[in-house]
Chains A and B, each alone.
Chain A
Amino acid sequence: MKTLLRYFSLAKYFLKINIQCGLEYPSYLISWLISNPLQFFFGIITVKVIITNFHALEGWSFEQIAFLYGLGIISHGLSVVFFIQTWYIDYMITDGEFDRLMVRPLNVFFQFCFKDFNFVGITDMLPGLVIFIYGCIASGFSFTVINIIKILLVIIGATALRGAIYTISGSLAFWTKRSGILTSVYLTLFTYTTQYPVSIFPRLIQDLLTFILPLAFISYFPSSEFFGIDTGYRFMGSLSVWTFGVGIAFYLLSMTVFKIGLRRYESCGS
């Protein structure tokens, strides 16, 4: 209990320092505030243009895709806020940065998680929130208590899932010394599997995205549950709860991978 409290107060302290660091360059923040939302608004304009010309995408209307698109971006933004340090594990390894974390009398994974709280990521999340709320209103989503709890579960699960995949791919650097470039591959994958209905892909890829690398749970499955769209997959219980469960399970897995990797760590920097 005492250790838990200590970790909690330390997390608060890390958070405070990180926010102060982020505010150090306000002009930087402002330009991210312009460029990040632009990207997502352009993306949704593209979808709008397509649907006006082609009427629907695999039975999904524009409003429904806006819902799915926004939901996907919210968890993307949150994962950028909380997990950005996983993109640079390889630098931390080759620079010998972990030496510093390991000599401290604290859990390394904990320090690693709270090392970087990148609140610039909120500029990613805001447009997602706007598009999501638009999607909610336009598609007639009912704001009942149950639905709101479900949405929260989905956002937590999806953020954890994204973070877990980043952590696992980043931890590969413990063996390979380089992994940062993989991030661009994952980002591309995440973008296209969470911003459009997964049903545009052939069945084989849908299976992969459901059972192997379960990215379909980030926004596609939960959205299809809310709109009652048949995905062709049957799950026991609510898909929102599934997203939560899958996210947490993957996160625990990523912790294990990180810990195993850390044992292989040799400081190769100077």
Chain B
Amino acid sequence: MNPYLYMTKMKLLLSMNYRFDFFTKLAVQVILLFVTSFFWKAAYRGIDTVQMVNEQQMIIYSVMSIVLASVFTASVESNIRSKVRQGNVAVDYIKPVNVFWMYFAEDIGNMVTNIIQRVAPVLICASFFIVVPKPVSLAHFLLFLTSSCFSFLILWLISALVGLFYFKVIEMGPIGIIKDYLIRLLAGTFVPIWFFPSSVQTVLQFLPFIYTYQLPLSIFIGRTSLNDALWGMLIQILWVLIFFALFVRLKNHVERNILVQGG
């Protein structure tokens, strides 16, 4: 079997084993689902449309945001972190594969598991109790899917870039958490950027964050027209290329002098 396919499969099987883990994660997801929908219902009380988005659209936005967040996993960074700390990274480099393709394959495995295990329950729960998250049209839905793939690539590359730093500094504490908080705020995962002051919005246009969550989500609810969606995806591709170029450069630099500590 192709070694990458095998790693994807192993990750899939492994994560199915942790059933208790699965239920608690699901519980967190369901709590989030209800809290955000109640939150927006309270905010929209007596108000019809804000920034061209109505209550229904906003709730679909947050449901799909939770769905995306549960699909997108990039464990590459924490993977490198723990492996560098314990010295296991040396073992990975002995394997006759490209190390980063291996990490990527593992994350794809995680993602497939997440789609099976987490997306379905969240969507079912949302449809029964909150709202049926229906895309505006088939075209919007297809663009949403494509755009989400690019989003994943951007997020994965950011995560991998942060991971590369661990080779250099060995331990820098919760820097990954800072990155996660930044993405959570600036990518519009909870509150879309269109509610922010216009100057902030202009600045964020030139940063990669809104192209990770907000773009696919606003395509899904139809706030972004099909034409704008295509332009947005072009910018997404641009960011993927920029991050990939950066990643390759940094990787080559880092791999030349890897320090293995631990046993």
Query: Which of chain B's residues have a CB closer than 8 A to the CB of A109?
Result: none
Interface of B is mostly: helix
> With a CB–CB cut-off of 8 A, which chain B residues contact A30?
173
Check if B42 is an interface residue, CB within 8 A of chain A: yes
Whether the pair A189, B31 counts as a contact (CB closer than 8 A) is yes
Pair B28/A50 contact, Cβ less than 8 Å: no
A46 at the interface (CB under 8 A from B): yes
Whether, in the assembled complex, B93 has its beta carbon less than 8 Å from a beta carbon of chain A, the answer is no
- Residues of A contacting B171 with CB < 8 Å? 27-28
Does A196 reach chain B (CB closer than 8 Å)?
yes
B116 located at the interface, meaning its Cβ lies under 8 Å from any Cβ of chain A in the complex: no
Could you mark each residue 184-202 of chain A with 1 if its beta carbon is under 8 Å from any beta carbon of chain B, else 0? 1100110010001001111
**B174 proximal to A (CB < 8 A):** yes
Contact string against B for A residues 159-194, beta-carbon threshold 8 Å, 1 for contact and 0 otherwise: 000000000000000000010011011001100100
Minimum C-beta distance from B21 to chain A (A) = 6
Number of A-B pairs, beta carbon distance below 8 Å: 77
| Cα of A58 to Cα of B39 in the assembled complex, Å | 10
B44 at interface (Cβ–Cβ under 8 A)? yes
How many chain A residues have a CB neighbour from B under 8 Å? 34
In B188-216, which residues have CB < 8 Å from any A CB?
190-191, 195-196
Asked whether A42 and B181 contact (CB < 8 A) given A181-B20, A185-B27, the answer is yes
Contacts A31-B172, A54-B43, A57-B43: A49 and B195 contacting too (C-beta < 8 A)?
yes
**Is A49 a contact partner of B178 (Cβ separation < 8 A)?**
no
Name A residues whose Cβ lies closer than 8 Å to a Cβ of B. Answer: 27-28, 30-32, 34-35, 38-39, 42, 45-46, 49-50, 52-55, 57-58, 178, 181-182, 184-185, 188-189, 192, 196, 199-202, 205
Known contacts A28-B171, A30-B173, A31-B174; can you find 17 more A-B pairs with CB under 8 A?
A28-B173, A31-B172, A32-B173, A35-B173, A35-B178, A35-B181, A39-B181, A42-B181, A45-B185, A46-B190, A50-B191, A53-B51, A57-B43, A58-B45, A181-B20, A188-B28, A199-B42
